[in-house]
């Protein structure tokens, strides 16, 4: 034990008190001590506090977040507000910083061209220098969490050091506490670790000052991420998107999947069953609204781990227990479950919204915009502009709420099931105004992998940079894939083929527009696509086989629209929505090919699907001599 204790010799006893030291020693894990020692010595906080699973410790974090001003109380009990740094509408810490998030790649190793990398030695040198003294004057919290349910084959433990009490508090809402689980590691280093610092702080509320030195470096070799000079949860919270990258690496070296998926329990009327579906959508493309469909249950809204299970299905768990949801457009009509939860007393952190008389307001909340208040830019009034003359909205388009799933009326009862839930199907979707039909079922698993690999979307405000550019987003996961795409696709193919009950794959598109740029579908129509997909996974509906996938029959949708939405779904609507748009699909295929041609050694199965798809589309063009083919032609 003394050897282990000696690992903390570099730390001044004024910085860490005996109580915290004892909590560390009780873990009996030299790896944890080494990490704490190394980064406390480097980052030089004025105080180190170790947090266990006790309520007292957890309350301490909540309290400190308010005391140091990273959060402020709002009028409703349990609600707080947090702001991230803001300079102009184009330069801020209100979204993920893709440019400065890099994978550290050892010399000579291959990385796909769209993975943002830096030479490992160079990157480590750079970030470790930036981290030198970065916590000076601040308190560093040491916390222990679990990615996934406790006591589960799926789960991975995670150690977080951070000087942001907001980060630590958010993680408490979003993840399962696991100090006691670390004790069970028996001294091993089988955990991820995350070192985060907001860096020097400025202003009131205190926000990261040195955004120019914001870095998020992912070190696959050590299963760790170092993140500095930021607070926005997508950049700062180790367990969210930073851990996803480490998990993708691990999964692709083993036999499982780590995906950017929600998990939805689908409960079709009168059938007395629940079937679980996952879904991947790039940010702000309907992911949360699909996960929150009325009458269904939500098990997760962002990240899932999948493993082949004894019953022949893939089983899936939510590695989180909370939501870090986009608040824009949350209103009582479209999002009743979320609206109810975030307007009543319970533990919630709002970020980057407008506060007026201790009440939060956001874009699309259905209320009149207050004339003034406090927002991410400080004192705000209607018409306020940033230094570059750009209008500052009352709330940021990427403003968020952080909330436990169990606080929702539609929370699924299997959230903490260590065995996860069996997976019946996967939805993929992007933002596509003119090409894909509202729902299309893949011809087989490989074709499903292709559908996921060919998601395209317009960029949104969830990442920094231009908004509205069409980009390829394989499995809505491109920002997080840290292994060569070749390997990622191979792993998918192998995974599905190893299952006796392979999930069905569906491409969805909620953003189809007509010539006048009007959406062809209502917000809730997706409920009918989802119920149809669930029925398909049980063999309840026949479908029309087109050369690019299966589409629903009009009669089935007509009934579903009536039963679930009380709507008359007309044949004309169906004919327009489910046309097979041959020319547009060929163009999309070209873009996809162009992307994958840049990758080394893309697996054969992928090119086989691409070539078949092209041939099928060309044949259709030849046969019908039309750009768009009505669905009835395939009956």
In the range 2-41, which residues lie near Mn ion by CB under 5 A? none
DSSP-derived pairing of the beta strands 421-430 and 504-509: parallel
With CB atoms as reference, the residue minimizing the distance to Mn ion is 302
* Catalytic annotation present for 285: yes
Burial 385-395 (b: 16+ CB within 10 A, else e): ebeeeeebbbb
Q: Please state the closest distance from residue 370 (CB atom) to ligand OXD, in A.
A: 26
Among 302, 432, 490, 613, binds ligand OXD (CB under 6 A): 302
Burial of 178 (0-12, 13-18, 19+ CB in 10 A): buried
List the x/- string, 184-223, binding to ligand OXD by CB under 6 A.
Answer: ----------------------------------------
CA angle 224, 417, 406 (to 5 degrees): 85
Q: Please state the closest distance from residue 459 (CB atom) to ligand OXD, in A.
A: 11
In the range 317-346, which residues lie near ligand OXD by CB under 6 A? 324
Q: Please state the closest distance from residue 396 (CB atom) to ligand OXD, in A.
A: 13
Among 81, 319, 440, 462, binds ligand OXD (CB under 6 A): 462
Count of residues binding ligand OXD (CB under 6 A)?
A: 6
Q: Please state the closest distance from residue 349 (CB atom) to ligand OXD, in A.
A: 14
Dihedral sign, Cα of residue 327, residue 97, residue 207, residue 202: negative
Name the nearest CA neighbour of 137 among 78, 195, 197. Answer: 197
Q: Which helix (H) or strand (E) holds 423?
A: strand 421-430
The residue (of 275 and 289) whose beta carbon lies closer to ligand OXD is 289
Tell me the H-state helices in 398-516.
445-453, 485-497
Bridge partner residues of 35 (DSSP)? none
Crossing angle of the two packed helices 18-25 and 30-43, in degrees rounded to 10? 140
The residue (of 166 and 574) whose beta carbon lies closer to ligand OXD is 166
234 binds, among ligand OXD, Mn ion, none (CB under 5 to 8 A by kind): ligand OXD
Sole window of 145-153, 166-174, 297-305, 438-446 interacting with Mn ion (rule: CB under 5 A):
297-305
In the range 191-210, which residues lie near Mn ion by CB under 5 A? none
Rounded to a whole number of angstroms, the CA Rg of the chain reads: 25
Task: Tell me how far apart the alpha carbons of residues 569 and 561 are, in angstroms, rounded to a whole number.
Answer: 6
Q: Please state the closest distance from residue 476 (CB atom) to ligand OXD, in A.
A: 8
Among 57, 163, 302, 573, binds Mn ion (CB under 5 A): 302
Sole window of 30-38, 85-93, 108-116, 301-309 interacting with Mn ion (rule: CB under 5 A):
301-309
List the x/- string, 243-282, binding to Mn ion by CB under 5 A.
Answer: ----------------------------------------
Residues 91 and 210: beta-carbon distance below 8 Å: no
Residues 478 and 472: beta-carbon distance below 8 Å: yes
Task: Tell me which of 43, 146, 168, 285 is the catalytic residue.
Answer: 285
Sole window of 299-307, 445-453, 540-548, 596-604 interacting with Mn ion (rule: CB under 5 A):
299-307
Map residue 214 onto helix, strand or coil.
coil
Under DSSP, the state recorded for 405 is: G
Separation in Å, CA 145 to CA 51, 150, 170, 223, 255: 10, 10, 12, 15, 24
The residue (of 80 and 283) whose beta carbon lies closer to ligand OXD is 283
Ranges assigned E (strand) in 473-524 = 504-509
Q: Is 344 left (phi over 0), alpha (psi -120 to 50) or beta?
A: beta
List the x/- string, 222-251, binding to ligand OXD by CB under 6 A.
Answer: ------------x-----------------
Residues 307 and 154: beta-carbon distance below 8 Å: yes
96 binds, among ligand OXD, Mn ion, none (CB under 5 to 8 A by kind): ligand OXD
Task: Tell me how far apart the alpha carbons of residues 339 and 159 are, in angstroms, rounded to a whole number.
Answer: 33
Crossing angle of the two packed helices 604-624 and 485-497, in degrees rounded to 10? 80
Q: Please state the closest distance from residue 284 (CB atom) to ligand OXD, in A.
A: 8
Q: Please state the closest distance from residue 283 (CB atom) to Mn ion, in A.
A: 6
With CB atoms as reference, the residue minimizing the distance to ligand OXD is 283
Name the nearest CA neighbour of 35 among 177, 173, 171, 195. Answer: 195
Among 100, 283, 289, 546, binds ligand OXD (CB under 6 A): 283
Contact call for residue 556 and ligand OXD (CB under 6 A)? no
Task: Tell me how far apart the alpha carbons of residues 360 and 80 are, in angstroms, rounded to a whole number.
Answer: 9
Q: Please state the closest distance from residue 324 (CB atom) to ligand OXD, in A.
A: 6
Contact call for residue 96 and ligand OXD (CB under 6 A)? yes
The residue (of 177 and 287) whose beta carbon lies closer to ligand OXD is 287
Positions in the binding site for Mn ion (CB under 5 A) = 302
Positions in the binding site for ligand OXD (CB under 6 A) = 96, 234, 283, 302, 324, 462
Supply the residues annotated as catalytic: 285
């Amino acid at each position: 034990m003394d050897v282990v204790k000696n690992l903390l010799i570099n730390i001044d006893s004024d910085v860490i008190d005996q109580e915290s030291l004892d909590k560390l020693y009780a873990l009996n894990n030299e790896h944890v001590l080494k990490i704490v020692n190394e980064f406390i010595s480097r980052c030089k906080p004025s105080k180190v506090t170790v947090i266990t699973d006790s309520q007292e410790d957890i309350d301490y974090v909540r309290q400190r977040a308010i005391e140091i001003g990273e959060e402020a109380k709002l009028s409703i009990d349990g609600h707080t507000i947090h702001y991230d740094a803001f300079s102009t509408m184009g330069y801020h810490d209100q979204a993920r910083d893709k440019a400065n998030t890099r994978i550290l790649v050892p010399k000579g190793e291959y990385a796909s061209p769209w993975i943002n990398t830096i030479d490992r030695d160079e990157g480590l040198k750079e970030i470790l220098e930036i981290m030198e003294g970065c916590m000076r004057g601040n308190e560093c919290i040491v916390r222990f969490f679990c990615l996934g349910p406790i006591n589960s084959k799926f789960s991975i433990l995670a150690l977080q050091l951070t000087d942001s009490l907001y980060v630590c508090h958010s993680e408490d809402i979003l993840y399962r506490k696991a100090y006691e689980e670390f004790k069970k590691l028996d001294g091993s280093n089988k955990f991820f670790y995350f070192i985060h610092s907001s860096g020097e702080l400025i202003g009131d509320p205190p926000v990261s000052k040195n955004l120019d030195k914001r870095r998020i470096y992912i070190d696959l070799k050590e299963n760790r991420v170092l993140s500095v000079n930021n607070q926005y949860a997508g950049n700062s919270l180790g367990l969210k998107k930073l851990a996803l990258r480490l998990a993708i690496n691990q999964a692709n070296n083993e036999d499982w999947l780590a995906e950017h998926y929600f998990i939805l329990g689908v409960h079709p009327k009168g059938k007395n069953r629940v079937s679980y579906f996952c879904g991947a959508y790039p940010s702000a493309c309907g992911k949360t609204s699909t996960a929150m469909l009325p009458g269904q249950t939500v098990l997760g809204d962002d990240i899932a781990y999948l493993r082949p299970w004894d019953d022949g299905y893939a089983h899936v768990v939510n590695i989180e227990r909370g939501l870090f949801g986009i608040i824009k457009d949350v209103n009582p009509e479209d999002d009743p479950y979320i609206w109810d939860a975030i307007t009543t007393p319970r533990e919630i952190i709002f970020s980057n919204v407008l506060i007026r008389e201790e009440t939060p307001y956001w874009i699309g909340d259905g209320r009149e915009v207050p004339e003034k208040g406090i927002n991410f830019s400080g004192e705000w009034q209607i018409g306020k502009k940033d230094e570059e003359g750009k209008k500052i909205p009352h709330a940021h388009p990427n403003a968020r709420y952080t909330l436990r799933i169990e606080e929702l009326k539609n929370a699924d009862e299997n959230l903490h099931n260590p065995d996860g839930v069996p997976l019946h199907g996967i939805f993929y979707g992007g933002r596509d105004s003119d090409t894909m039909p509202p729902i299309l079922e893949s011809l087989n698993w490989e074709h499903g992998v292709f559908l996921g690999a060919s998601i395209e979307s317009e960029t949104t405000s969830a990442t920094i940079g231009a908004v509205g550019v069409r980009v390829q987003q394989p499995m809505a996961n491109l920002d997080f894939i840290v292994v060569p795409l070749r390997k990622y696709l191979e792993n998918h193919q192998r995974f599905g083929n190893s299952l006796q009950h392979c999930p069905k794959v569906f491409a969805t598109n909620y953003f189809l527009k007509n010539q006048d740029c009007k959406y062809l579908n209502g917000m809730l129509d997706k409920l009918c696509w989802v119920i149809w997909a669930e029925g398909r996974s049980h063999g309840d509906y026949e479908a029309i086989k087109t050369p690019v996938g299966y589409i629903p029959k009009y009669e089935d949708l007509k009934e579903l629209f009536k039963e679930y939405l009380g709507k008359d779904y007309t044949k004309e609507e169906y004919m327009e929505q489910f046309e097979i748009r041959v020319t547009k699909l060929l163009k999309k295929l070209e873009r996809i090919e162009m992307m994958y041609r840049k990758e080394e050694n893309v697996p054969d199965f992928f090119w086989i699907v691409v070539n078949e798809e092209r041939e099928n589309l060309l044949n259709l063009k030849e046969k019908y001599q039309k750009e768009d083919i009505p669905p009835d032609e395939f009956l």
